[in-house]
Amino acid sequence: MVPRINSKIKGVATQRLFAAVCEAYCVEEAKMADKNNIPKHQAIFGFLSRVRLVREVMVGVLCEDEPLPRDTVQHTAAYKALIGFLQTMIDNEIKASEAQAEVPEGESLAQKVQEMRDDFHKTVALRAKARRVKKKLGKDGANSDSKYRNLSKDRIENLRQILFSGDRIPLKVRRKVRKSLNGNDRQAFFWQMLVDDSIQEQSAAILYSLPPLSHACMDFRSCDFLQWVRAIELILYATHNFTSKTPIESATLDQPIKMICYSDPSAFGLIQLAQENTQLLRTIFDNSWDPDSVGDDQCCIFAVCTDDVDQYVNKEHCSWLKDFLARAHDIGLQLKRRGSYQQRLELYKELRASHVGEGMKSHFFSVGC
């Protein structure tokens, strides 16, 4: 049978995007600090998945010499949780810039962000239909199996309206706008710029009846959240043949079942079965998961994904970190720009063997060395 996640993530920009998501997700998980922080109403492991699963998914899709992630529903849940985390970060950026735009005129960053967004929406037609279609798309959310190649004609047309109904932003305009950004501006658009780079990398048609995603009428200034959601889904689901294997599995993994189906009496049987399936999957994984290894999992994610070697880590990991940085310098491994994921993983393995037990029970991200 075809595995649920059946290909590596390809493309320099898309790999950097996914690596950034894994690291940020890991930092957020460390902030939670509670090893049992998963709300019981969330599907499988919820919005914050077990960091061990994140580590295994990250290694499987980014490191070229490693096998793909294991073909389990738990790993599928982690992959989906990462994508949901990215979409939340995009939503937060949009809301933050909108809030900043309401402050007094003295705040130049807020003014600049709002001006850039206003300028973007002057050049691209507003898609009122795209906003209304979200409710329509949600109607079959619990039974969707994420196989984009089987999308209905109506849904294909919805994607066309959301992503391609307007003028493509010329490359010269993109470059000019980005060149005008300072450090604070870039931070305000951090996740949107990463996704936009990945969008521009998608030069081949993902779906046979749609243009390449690089032709989408959006850039990093877009504040249409639905645009970002659909673009991310196409990049990280459709391009990698991501699938769920059964309707029950889809219902178990997809959050829309909670938001949509509880008011539909005909869906109660499916909901009950999904809840039972969720509890079983949690039990299976928890029996094999060692919560005391969380620091080691975070350490691995940091080593493979980071481009910020100066961030604070727990003092118990400082010895390993100093050796890691020194060894990377000796072999010419660039750590301030994401890439060389397999080489980073090998270096992590090499050094971790000599630091066994150090900090494994403590979160990697904490206070400074």
Give pLDDT tens digits for 37-49: 444 444 445 444 5
Where do we find the tokens 């793909």?
68
- Of 194 and 36, the structure prediction assigns the larger pLDDT to 194
pLDDT at residue number 132: 44
Other residues' Cβ atoms within 10 Å of the Cβ of residue 183: 7
8 Å CB contact between 73 and 281? yes
Is 146 within 8 Å of 4 (Cβ atoms)? no
pLDDT above 70 as % of the chain: 68
pLDDT of residue 182: 85
Task: Give the integer Cα–Cα distance in Å for 255 and 252.
Answer: 8
- What residues does each domain of the chain span? 12-285, 291-355
* pTM for this entry: 0.78
- Check pLDDT > 90 for residue 179: no
pLDDT for residue 328: 94
- How many CA atoms lie less than 13 Å away from 170 in the CB half-sphere? 4
Please report which confidence band the pLDDT of residue 358 belongs to, taking 50, 70 and 90 as the band edges: low
- Residue whose pair of structure tokens reads 């504040």 in the numeric block: 223
Nearest CA-CA partner of 46 in 90, 4, 85, 20: 85
Separation of first and last alpha carbons in the chain? 48
Residue 55 has pLDDT above 90, yes or no: yes
